[in-house]
Amino acid sequence: MNSKKDIERHHDTGRVHQLVIPYQEGVTPDNDYDLLHKAISSAFLFAKNGIQFYSMDYYISMGTVLCPFPYTTDGITNPFTLFVDKNIPSVIDLRPERVGEKRVDLDDFSVDNLCQKALELLNSEIEQNENEELIPVWGEIYFRGMTIPFPASYAEDGSIPLIYGSWTERYPIKQDGDFVLAHGPLEIRAPYPPIRIGIRHDGGVFTLNIYTRWSYFWDETFEGYHLIQDYIKELKKEGWVEVEEEE
């Protein structure tokens, strides 16, 4: 078990795990539902053991008909949408990350409903599109509003100490039995959630990034590191291929 000193020392950086699904031929609006569902359900494989997602950012871009590579939002009526669970804890501070991002609150924050709502927005853009060379495609989704449980021993004096360079942020928590709950993002100097999961769609290639901002998830001496490794194993079973880090 790590000491308090060890825990504090490691809150100063982050890691990124990247997985891809190789090029998929025949990516068209007709089968975007399956691709969206796979992307969203892949992210939700991590949402278990007390981990709860409360938001999904969803971006639509214009791409070419032959190869839907998202590269511009010109011609898109609503390119940026933030889907939010109506049951989101009030402490979570979800500010728009893109200019003009529209918030949509949902009673049902399930994989199926998120996929359906996202597809409805995409289909609406397709119906309005008058460009003969470009078509609307979904370009990116990611999850940032969440609650994650940590062992009670990971906290100190009612908060989790996060070291960022020369200063320490006391990240607020809530006691829950033998665990403490950390919500994010928050309206503090270190607002980032412990984890951020994003999926990009680039011309038929799908990339999933796991941003582990807290040492609990990237230092192998902590339990959270093994949660990430288990998640990666689950993703590989679904056809994702891990990209090895360059030395």
Kindly report, residue by residue over 95-107, the tens digit of the pLDDT: 888 888 999 999 9
Cα(114)–Cα(79) distance, rounded to whole angstroms? 16
- Alpha-carbon torsion 187, 82, 34, 16, what sign? negative
Cα(155)–Cα(180) distance, rounded to whole angstroms? 7
Question: Does 216 or 87 have the greater pLDDT score?
Answer: 87
- The reported pLDDT for the residue numbered 166 is 75
7 φ/ψ angles, rounded to the nearest 5 degrees:
-60, -45
- 134-143 and 55-64: which strand pairing? antiparallel
- The reported pLDDT for the residue numbered 6 is 45
pLDDT, tens digit (0-9, with 9 covering 90-100), for 171-210: 888 888 888 998 888 776 655 678 899 998 877 778 999 9
* Nearest alpha-carbon partner for 203 in 75, 35, 66: 66
What's the mean per-residue pLDDT of the chain? 83
For residue 22, the tally of other CB atoms under 10 A from its CB is 10
- The reported pLDDT for the residue numbered 30 is 47
- The reported pLDDT for the residue numbered 45 is 95
Q: Which of 138-152, 178-192, 227-241 has the lowest mean pLDDT?
A: 178-192
CA 185 from chain center: how many Å? Answer: 12
State the pLDDT confidence band at 236, using cuts at 50, 70 and 90: very high
Q: With a cut of 50, say whether residue 3 has pLDDT above it.
A: no
Who contacts 14 (Cβ-Cβ below 8 Å, separation ≥6)? 211, 212, 213, 214, 218
- How crowded is the C-beta side of 113, counted as CA atoms within 13 Å? 11
Q: With a cut of 70, say whether residue 9 has pLDDT above it.
A: no
Q: What is the DSSP string of 193-228?
A: -SEEEEEEEETTEEEEEEEE-SHHHHSTTSHHHHHH
- Residue 204, both tokens: 């038929």
Residue with tokens 């969803």: 58
Question: Does 117 or 157 have the greater pLDDT score?
Answer: 117
Cα(234)–Cα(228) distance, rounded to whole angstroms? 10
Q: With a cut of 70, say whether residue 23 has pLDDT above it.
A: no
Judge contact between 54 and 146, C-beta under 8 A. yes
- The reported pLDDT for the residue numbered 170 is 79
Question: Does 111 or 137 have the greater pLDDT score?
Answer: 111
Question: Does 34 or 31 have the greater pLDDT score?
Answer: 34
Segment 70-97 shows an average pLDDT of 88
